[in-house]
Structure formats: C-alpha cells, structure tokens
Structure 1
Amino acid sequence: MKRNVNIILTAWGVFSLLAILFTFSRGVSLEKKHTIIIDLAERTKTEFFLSQKFHESFLLTGDTLSVPLLIEHLKIMEQNFDSIIHYIGKEASEVDPQSPEGFISQVPSMQDNLHEIESFFNKRENIQNTESQHELNKMFAAYNLRFKEFETGLQKYLSAENSDFKFISFLFKLGAFAALSVSLFFISKLLNRLRITEIMLVEKTVETEQKERNRIAADLHDDLGAILSSINLYLKILEAEVKEGKDVSSQIKNLRQLSDISLQRVKMAINNLEPLFLKKYGLVESVQRICESMNDLGKSQFEFDAQHFNLKLSPNTELIMFRVFSELTNNALKHSQASLVRMTLMSSKNTVILNYTDDGVGFDMASGQNNEKNKIGLKSIENRIESLGGSCQLKTAPGKGVSMQLRFRVTRQFTKKPSKTVNENE
C-alpha cells in the first residue's frame, strides 16, 4: 500500500510539473505568436492606408514621385503576408477553407491584387485617364474586401487557438485533480490500515504481556510455591522434633537446600522479568550463554550462529528478541525431544532474519488438540515479532521437526565486532 501511494504521488507530482511547464511555455509561445501576427496585420493595414494616400495624391497632383513610394508600400504588404503565413505554419494551398486556418487562403488573392496594382503603376501609361482610374479603384476595392474577410478570419483563428489552449489546460488540471483524488483515496486507505494495524499491535502486546504474567504466575505457583510448601512442612516437622529433643541436623540441612533452591528460583523469575546479563553482554553473547547453559544439561545440543549479523538493535528490540530466543529454547527443551537445535541470526541490509530448526518430533498443524499441545509459546513468539512489524513462517509435521523463520526491518547500524558460533564443543 505504501509503495502504491508513493508511486501515485510521484506520478501526480511529475504530471503536475509537466502540466505547469507545458501550459506556461505554450502560453508564452502562443502569446508571442499572436502578438506578432496581430502586429503584422496592423502594419499591413497601415501600409494599405498609406498606399491609398499616395494614390490619391498622385491623382490630385499628378506627382510621379509618389508612385515609387506607393509601390514600396505594396511590396511591404506582400512581405507581411508572407511573414503571417510563416508564423501560422501552413501554406495557403495546404489549408481547408473551412478550418480555423482557412483565412490564409485569402492571401494569394490579395497578393495577386497587390501585384496587379504594382504592375499597373509600373507601366505609368495613361494612369490618370478615367478608365485607368476606374480600373485602379476596382483593384483597391477588391483588395480591401478580401482584407476585411482576412481580418475576420484572423480573429476567429486567434480565438480558436486560445480556446484550444484553454481546453488543453483544463484537461491537464482535470488530470492533476483526478491523480490527486486517487492519491488522497489511497492515503486515506493507508491511514485507516495503519490505524487498524496499530490497534492490533496494541491488542497483541497486551495479549503477550498477559500471557507472560500468566506464565510467571504459573512458574511461581508450580515451582516456587511447591518449594515453599515443602519448607513449611519441614518447619512443622522440625518444630515437633525439637520439642521431643530429637536430632534435627538432617532437617536443617534439607531446609537449607530448599531455601537455596527457592532463592535460585526467585533469581530466575527476576531474570525473566529483567535480564540483567542482557544489559551487560548484549543480545548475541546473552544468547550464547543461554545455549551454553542448555548444552550443559546434556539433553539437547544447541548451536547458535550469528557470524553474519552486523546490526545494532535498540534496547527494546534486543529485549523482545531475547524473549523470543528464551521461548524457542524453552519450547525445544519441553516439547521438541530434539537432539540438535540450530538457531541462526543474520542481517541483510536493514532486515533481521532468525532461522530456527530442530530434528524433534514436530507436530500436526492441522490437529487442534495436538497443535495446542506442541505450539506452547509459539503464538507468543509470533506476537512479539509482529509487534516489531515483522513476520513468521512455520513449517512442521509429525516426525519432521520444526523449521521457523522470523524477520523484521530495523534502522541499520553496524556493530564493532562480528559474533561467533556457539555449539556444544565450545
């Protein structure tokens, strides 16, 4: 889910940036283009007005010096029309007269009119007679009519381009809004999922803590409670024998042994609540010491390998992992009947991986009763790993032992020294 949200937000950001750049650059270029075309059209209109003035001056005064100036204005008008076609980007012969660019189809006719007027003045023969003047007036009138149609078409063309640009801008805005809406939808789902996950983690933490309390209470009742009951019984016997004047040295010795055992059990209970050597030695060496203690019992061989573990965990994470290792070793001793137990702690980038295998009796995961009997503590392990945002994978079958992989992600920090492998022969 997080990956999907990041992809969508990135796509939305890139799309929005491209849309902004496109609309800005397109708007600037369009405005520049329209300004130039309008300026050329206005200058052409001015040149035509000046050519008419020179024509009228020639008719009134007969001054032939005005003719070259008139022809020069006509040539400027032709050049302006060529420039307008250049900025439109299409030739007059290529456009559909019904299209927005169709107005430029008028340009060749207007240029022909200008050529005719220019040719007429270049001849300079009988220009001032009535027939010639009538012919010139018809040429100027024809040009003027076409130019008005040209101006109308130009305004429609500019309006159509502006409308197209606004429509494209609207589509970009609509696309950006749609992408943002999808992003917000996924973000909302992600936040809701995180809230549900947080609630589940709190519930699992409470559940794990309650199971730990129940386990400690059971240990105190079954182990320390029985010893204290024995001490109380010996005290009653001792009291009776003292009154009778009997030798009570053996009872005192038994009481001393029971008191030593009870003291050891209290220390073990305290250590389960707050492992003092975990703070002193750290996770890896503490687990090594647990394995050494288990190997001294001679019941099962425990091998622990942490050569490829090079992350520094937080104190809280180390405590959780220590509880996990304790639960794994206790389960192995109580239920697995294994001769060999292997535990491997490693890290890959910022991921912690714990692999556990044993060659014990295993259990049937599909059988409810047998499952409950053989999975004592496994649910607690799963809850602890999930509280770190990790996952557990369990494989087992009757007679096939147990294989488990636990993994979770942490912030990467390297320890100074690599860890060693612990087995029975060390």
Structure 2
Amino acid sequence: MREEENQIIFIFVVSAAFVVLLAILLVLFLVIYQKRIVTQENRLQKLENEKQQSLLKATIEGQERERKRLAKDLHDSIGSLLSGLSFNLKFQKNLKNQDQQQLVFLEEACKLVDEGIENIRIVSHNLIPSTLENFGLVSAIKECIVPLIQTNNLEINIQTSEEFPPLPLEISLGILRVFQELVQNTIKHAYASKIEVLLICTPDTISLEYTDNGKGFHINDIDLYGIGIKNMQSRIQALHGTFFIDSKVKKGFRAYLEVPIILKEDTHGQTH
C-alpha cells in the first residue's frame, strides 16, 4: 500500500514537473515568437521609411530639376526677347526728330523693359543659386536677402558661426530653400519689420534659428499656412534633420531646424 502511494506521488510530481516544463516552453515560444514579430515589424517599418525617404528625395530632386529648366527657359527665351526689345526701343529713342510725347513714351517703355529684365535675372538666380555652389551657404543667404530688404522695408540680421566649413551641396541647398520659404511666409503673412537669423555649424550638425516680430498666429491654425510649412518639413526630413515652429498671436514667429552633416566615404576610404 505504501509503495502504491509512493508511485502515485511520483507520478503526480513527474506530471506536475512536465506541466511546468511545458508551460515554460510555451512561454519561451511565445516570447521568441513575439520578438520575431516585433523584429519583422521593425524591419518592415524601416523598409517603409526608407521607401518614403527615397520617394521624398526623388520628389525634391525633381523639383530642383524643374527649377533649373524653368530658369533656363526664362533666361534663354523671355530674357533674350526682352533684351532684343530693349535694344530696339533704345534705338528708336535715340533717333532724331522725336516729338516730346514719343520720347516720354519710349523712355518709360525702356524703363519697364529694363525692370523686367532685372526681375527675370533675379528670379532665374533664385531658381539656380550659383553663389551657393561657388561661395557657400552663408554667402548665398546674404545675397538672396538684398532685394528683399530693398523692396519690403525689412531689417534682416544674420549671425553665423565664426568657422563655417564647406557643406555638402544637398544640405546647403535644402537649408537655403527653407530659409527662402520662411522669409516669403514672413513677407506674405506676418507684416513684420525685423527678422533675426542664427546659423550655427558644428563638426556634426548645422542648425538655423529664424524669428520675426510679426503678428504671429495660433499654432492650431498652422493649416492656414498649408503647403509652405509642409514643404519645409519635407525638405528637412529628406536630410534626416528635425524642424519645428512656434508662434503666438501678436508674439511673432520662430522656426528651428537642425540637420546632421553626413560625411560620405570615397573609394579610398577618405571622408569629404
């Protein structure tokens, strides 16, 4: 009888141990399975992000190609036509035996055509900022604000790092486009008289802080400014950077962006 009880206890203990082991194995299986699911989801999310990043980059590159095409068309077609018209008008103006009314008309026409030529030159230059490639981001920003100050009664102050090394063209162009969009938003919406810009470059990142003293807006009304803000966010996202804005009614506007400076290795293992 005692032996049968011992056997029953032994079977019970073995059964309990088997159930516990089975439960442990089941838990381990669920943990490993869940981990694999999470890993797979992360991998898919990474692939999706990379796909979105590629699409975003391709879109921006397409926009820049279109800008170049448009700038070339403006310069080669409309610019040339206006230059020819300006030459003919000035030739007519310099002819003798012009009455006073004709002379006034020709002088005014020459003035308007010359202004059109200058405007096309400015637009073409903004579409393809050669200064950016030749002299760098700081020079390009300072150059593009000159006509804005002259025509919009704006005070624009720019502070930069003392050391400002050459940047990859993709990064410089992206930041320049965002800066141009910020200034245009200020001119169109803010009714500001002053803009402050702080441009800082470190070995690893470049950051730009932009503020104006305009009328501001409620941050919940950001959709009113629509595509401009989204374009800026997309450009900085394509550069793997961060971008945010802050504004309050009658308290002005502030934008901040930070972009990592990615040094690519060439075939000889050197960075540039």
TM-score (norm 2): 0.64
> Is structure 2 residue 199 aligned with structure 1 residue 345?
yes
In the TM superposition, what are the counterparts of 1:217-228 in structure 2 within 5 Å?
none
**Which residue is 2:45 aligned to?**
193
Larger of the two Rg values belongs to structure:
1
The AA in structure 2 aligned to 1:379 is K
Tell me the SS of whatever aligns to 1:360: coil
> Is structure 2 residue 242 aligned with structure 1 residue 391?
yes
Residue-pair matches, total: 220
For residues 51 and 131 of structure 2, the distance between their equivalents in structure 1, rounded to whole angstroms, comes to 33
Tell me the SS of whatever aligns to 1:367: helix
Shift of 1:396: 0.9
Shift of 1:302: 0.9
In the TM superposition, what are the counterparts of 1:21-32 in structure 2 within 5 Å?
none
**Which residue is 2:229 aligned to?**
378
Give a deviation string over 1:313-350, Cα, whole Å, max 9, x none: 21121111111122122222222211221111123551
Shift of 1:255: 2.6
Give a deviation string over 1:190-209, Cα, whole Å, max 9, x none: 43223222332344446657
Tell me the SS of whatever aligns to 2:219: coil
**Which residue is 1:266 aligned to?**
120
**CA distance 1:188–1:301, shift in 2 (3 Å):** same
**Which residue is 1:302 aligned to?**
156
Identify the match of residue 325 of structure 1 among 176, 179, 196: 179
RMSD after superposition: 4.1
**Which residue is 2:259 aligned to?**
408
Task: Report if aligned partners of 1:395, 1:403 keep a CA contact under 8 Å in 2.
Answer: yes
**CA distance 1:257–1:187, shift in 2 (3 Å):** farther
Higher strand share: 2
Tell me the SS of whatever aligns to 1:313: coil
In the TM superposition, what are the counterparts of 1:360-375 in structure 2 within 5 Å?
360-367=214-221, 371-372=223-224, 374=225
The AA in structure 2 aligned to 1:199 is K
In the TM superposition, what are the counterparts of 1:65-84 in structure 2 within 5 Å?
none
Gapped regions of structure 1 (runs ≥ 5): 1-174, 239-244, 414-426
The AA in structure 2 aligned to 1:191 is R
**Which residue is 2:13 aligned to?**
none
Gapped regions of structure 2 (runs ≥ 5): 1-27, 93-97, 265-272
Give a deviation string over 1:205-256, Cα, whole Å, max 9, x none: 4665787869x98xx8xxx8xxx8xx8xxx9xx9xxxxxx966322322332
Tell me the SS of whatever aligns to 1:256: helix
The AA in structure 1 aligned to 2:51 is I
For residues 391 and 286 of structure 1, the distance between their equivalents in structure 2, rounded to whole angstroms, comes to 22
Task: Report if aligned partners of 2:126, 2:144 keep a CA contact under 8 Å in 1.
Answer: no
TM-score (norm 1): 0.43
Tell me the SS of whatever aligns to 1:366: helix
For residues 328 and 184 of structure 1, the distance between their equivalents in structure 2, rounded to whole angstroms, comes to 45
Identical counterparts, % of pairs: 22
Tell me the SS of whatever aligns to 2:249: coil
Shift of 1:393: 1.2
Higher helix share: 1
Shift of 1:188: 3.4
**Which residue is 1:30 aligned to?**
none
**CA distance 1:289–1:266, shift in 2 (3 Å):** closer
**CA distance 1:293–1:180, shift in 2 (3 Å):** farther
